[in-house]
Amino acid sequence: MISLRDFFGALTSLYILNLVTVNALPVGPQLQEQFLVGELPNVTWTIGNQYAGNLPVQRGTNLSLFFWGVESTPGSLTAPAGNNNAPWNIWLNGGPGSSSLIGFFHENGPIRLNVNYTATENPYSWDKQADTFWIDQPVGVGFSTLDDGQTGWVVDEDQMASDFFGFLENLVQVFPNLASRPLNIIGESYAGTYIPYITKYYFGLQQPPVKLAKIAMGNGVIPNFYVFMFLPMARVTAIETYPQMIGYDTVVYEYFKDQSRLCGYDIDLKYPETQKLPTITAPLGGLWASLGGSKSQLGHSSFLSTFKSRLRTNLARASFDKRKRELAQREWKRDLSSRANGTIDPWYGCDLLDFVIDYAVNYTYPWSNDTSLGFDVYNIPSALDPPEFTDSDFFLNDPVVKKAIHAPDKVWVDGVPYMFGGGSNGDPSPEPMVFLDQLATNATANNISIIIYSGNSDLLVSHRGSEVAIQNTTFGGIQGFTRRPSTPWYDDNGEFAGIIHQERGWTYALFHTSGHLVPAQKPVAAWTFLREFILGNNETGLVTDASIPASGGEDPQYAVNTLAEGPEVYRGSYTTTSTYYFPSETVARWDKFVEQGYTTSDASKSFAQAGGAVGGKTASGVVLNALFFAVLSSVFAFVWLF
Specify the pLDDT at position 111. Answer: 97
Label residue 618 left, alpha or beta by phi (over 0 means left) and psi (-120 to 50 means alpha).
beta
Helix ranges (H only) for 15-137 are 19-24, 32-35, 101-106
The rounded distance, in Å, linking the Cα atoms of 21 and 25 is 7
Q: Do 199 and 189 form a contact (C-beta atoms < 8 A)? A: no
Which range (290-299, 387-396, 434-443) has the least confidence? 290-299
Q: What is the DSSP string of 337-363?
A: GGS-TT---TTTTT-HHHHHHHHHHHH
Q: How confident is the model at residue 357 (pLDDT cuts 50, 70, 90)?
A: confident
Closest C-alpha to 284, from 632, 639, 642 = 632
pLDDT at residue 108 greater than cutoff 50? yes
pLDDT at 606 over 70: no
Nearest Cα residue to 321 out of 24, 642, 620, 11: 620
Question: Average pLDDT in the 250-258 region?
Answer: 90
* CATH tag, 4-223+426-558: 3.40.50.1820
- Asked whether the predicted pLDDT for residue 223 surpasses 90, the reply is no
Cα–Cα separations (whole angstroms), residue 210 to 3, 239, 430: 30, 44, 26
* CB atoms near residue 399 (< 10 Å): 9
**pLDDT of 187:** 98
* pLDDT number for residue 292: 42
**What integer pLDDT is reported at residue 23 of this predicted model?**
54
- Over 80: is that where the pLDDT of 294 sits? no
Least confident of 324-338, 355-369, 380-394, 519-533: 324-338
Phi and psi, residue 578, nearest 5° = -155, 160
Q: Where are the domains of the chain?
A: 4-223+426-558, 227-381+575-638
pLDDT at residue 477 greater than cutoff 50: yes
Average pLDDT for residues 512-535, to the nearest whole number?
97
Give pLDDT, residue 327.
Answer: 62
Contact 157, 194 (CB under 8 A): yes
Q: Which of 401-410, 505-514, 633-642 has the lowest mean pLDDT?
A: 633-642
Lowest mean pLDDT among 356-360, 382-386, 476-480: 382-386
pLDDT computed for residue 16 by the predictor: 38
Q: What pLDDT is recorded for position 642?
A: 65
Contact of 251 with 258, CB cutoff 8 Å? no
- Residue 623 is predicted with a pLDDT of 35
- Mean predicted confidence (pLDDT) in 453-481: 93
Stretch among 285-299, 363-377, 389-403 having the lowest mean pLDDT: 285-299
Q: Which secondary structure element, helix H or strand E, spans residue 451, and what is its range?
A: strand 449-455
* Residue-level pLDDT at 390: 76
pLDDT of residue 225: 63
H helices of 446-543, in order, are 463-471, 518-521, 523-529
pLDDT in tens, 323-338: 555 566 666 655 555 5
What integer is the mean pLDDT of 637-641?
44
What is the β-pairing status of strands 478-479 and 474-475? antiparallel
Give the model confidence (pLDDT) of 32-75 as tens digits. Answer: 999 999 999 999 999 999 999 999 999 999 999 999 999 999 99
Tell me the pLDDT tens digit for each residue of 554-595: 999 999 888 989 999 988 888 888 899 999 999 999 999 998
Please compute the mean of the pLDDT values over residues 592-608 and round it to a whole number.
62
Average pLDDT, integer, range 381-398: 84
The answer on pLDDT for 300 being more than 90 is no
The rounded percent of the chain whose pLDDT value lies above 70 is: 77
Q: Mean of the pLDDT values across residues 156-160?
A: 96
Which helix or strand (DSSP H or E) is residue 624 part of? helix 619-635
Residue 608: is its pLDDT beyond 70?
Answer: no
Torsion of CA 512, 514, 517, 519, to 10 degrees: -60
pLDDT over 60 (residue 609): no
388 has pLDDT over 80: no
What percent of the chain is modeled with pLDDT above 90? 56
Rounded to two decimals, the pTM is 0.86
Assess whether pLDDT exceeds 60 at residue 24: no
